[in-house]
Structure 1
Amino acid sequence: MKQSANLTSSARERGMSLVVALIMLLMMTVTALMLFRMSNTGTQIVGNMQFRNEALASADAAIQEVLSTTRMFETPNLLFLQDCGGSFNRRCFDLNGDQQDDVQVDVAPPSCVQVDIIPNASLNLSRPNEADCAVGVAQTFGMEGAVAGNSLCANTLWEVRATASDAGASQATGARMTVVQGVGVQVKTGVAVAFCAGTSAP
C-alpha cells in the first residue's frame, strides 16, 4: 500500500512538472512575440521619422526654388518650369537615385498677406532698386530734394505653402507634411495691386 502511494505521488509530480514547463514555454513565446512586435514598431517609427525629414527637406527645397524667381507673383499657377504629374505647381524628388519619384511637393500659389506702399521720403536713392521706385520731382517747401507722396514700390509679405507627400510606387505610408514659409519682397505697386487685396495704385 505504501509503495502504491509513492507511485501516485511521483506520477503527480511528473504531471505538475509538465504543466509548469508548458506554462513557462507559453510565457516565453508570448514574450518573444511582444519583443518582435516592439522591434517592428521601432522600425516603423524610424521609417516615419526618415520620411518626415525627407519630406521637410523636399518641401523646403521646393519653397526655396519658388522664392528664387519672380514667378511667384508673375505666374503663380506656373511656379516650376517642369511639370510633375501634370502640374507646374508640383515638384517631384527622387531621393535615392532609382529613377522613381519618392516625394512630391505641391506648392499652392503664394498669397500676399500684407502690403505697405513705400513713401518717397523713405527711399534711399543711392540704392539702384530703390532709385527706380522714386516718383516725380515735386518738392515740399523748405526741404530741398524732399519728394512727397507714395513711391512706385511696396514692401509685401507673402505666404508660401508646400505640402509634401509620399510619391513612392506603393504610397504605403500615405504620410503628408505641410510647410508654411513667409517672405518679404519689395515689388512694384502694380504687382501689389494685382495680387494683394485692398491695395490701390498711388
Structure 2
Amino acid sequence: MPSTFHQRNQGGAALIVGLIMLVLITLVVTAGFTLSNTNLKSVGNMQNRNEAVAAANRAIEVVATSLLLPGVDGSPSLAAPQGTVSLVDINNDGTNDYTVQIAAPTCVRATKTTDTGGSTTGIGGIGGNASTAGSGLAALPDQYNSVWDISTTVTDDRTGTSTAVRQGVRALLSKAQFDALCSS
C-alpha cells in the first residue's frame, strides 16, 4: 500500500506543475504578441511619417522651382511668394493621401555677391577664371545670394495626423528683388 499512496501524491504534484507551466507559457506568448504588435505599430508610424516627409518634399520642390520666376517679359519677379496648399497622392491610386499646407516662403538672409578681382561669381555661386572665360561675364550686376525658409504642415487625410517639415532654399536675387523682398 505505501507505494500506491506515493504515486497519488506525485500525480497531483505533476498536475499542479503542469498547470503552472501552462500559465507561464501563456504569459510568455501573450507578452510576445503584445511586443510584436507594438513593434508593428511603430513601424507603421515610421512609414506614415516618411510618406508625409516625402509628400512635403514633393511640395517644397514645386515651390522652390517656382520661387521668384521671371515674368513673361523676362523681368525679375518682385511679387512676394505666397503660401499654397498642395494635395499629394503618394501611392498614385487616384485618391489624395496628404494635404500639404505651405506657408509663404520668407527671406531669411541675403548677402551681396562680390567680384574678387580676376574671378567672377556667376549664377549659383559658380566662380573661377577658367569657368567664366569667354562667357561675357566681365562684371556682375548687383546680385544677392538669398536663403529662403519654406515651412510646411502635412496632414494625413486618412488618419488626420500632421507633421511639420522645414527646408531652406537658396536663390539668386537681383538688386530690385533684394530691395522688394529681403531688405527689411
Question: Given residue 154 of structure 1, which amino acid in structure 2 is its aligned partner?
Answer: Y
**What residue number does 1:192 align with?**
178
The equivalent residue for 1:45 is 42
Unaligned runs of 5+ residues in structure 1 are 79-88, 135-150
Q: Which runs of 5+ in 2 are unaligned?
A: 70-77, 123-134
**Aligned-partner Cα distance in 2 for 1:17–1:62:** 67
Moved more, 118-127 or 106-115: 118-127
Letter aligned with residue 74 of structure 1: A
Q: 1:164 is paired with a residue of what secondary structure?
A: strand
TM-score normalised by length of structure 2: 0.71
Residue from 46, 56, 59 that aligns with 1:59: 56
Cα gap change, 1:6/1:62 in structure 2, threshold over 3 Å: closer, same or farther?
Answer: same
Q: Which residue type is aligned with residue 171 of structure 2?
A: V
Q: What residue in structure 1 maps to residue 156 of structure 2?
A: 166
Aligned residues, how many? 161
Residue 167 of structure 2 is aligned with which of 165, 169, 181? 181
Percent of paired sites with the same residue? 29
2:111 pairs, out of 77, 91, 116, with: 116
- Over the aligned positions, Cα root-mean-square deviation in angstroms equals 3.0
Asked whether the 8 Å contact 2:106–2:150 carries over to 1, the reply is yes
Deviation, structure 1 residue 69:
0.9
The higher radius of gyration belongs to 1
User: TM-score, structure 1 length as denominator?
Assistant: 0.65
Q: Distance in 2 between matches of 1:119 and 1:71?
A: 22
**Residue among 136, 139, 157 paired with 1:126:** 136
Match of 1:95 among 61, 76, 90: 90
The letter of the residue matching 1:196 is C
Correspondence for 2:22: 25
Change (3 A) 1:188 1:91: same
* Rounded Cα–Cα distance in structure 2 between residues aligned with 1:33 and 1:57: 36
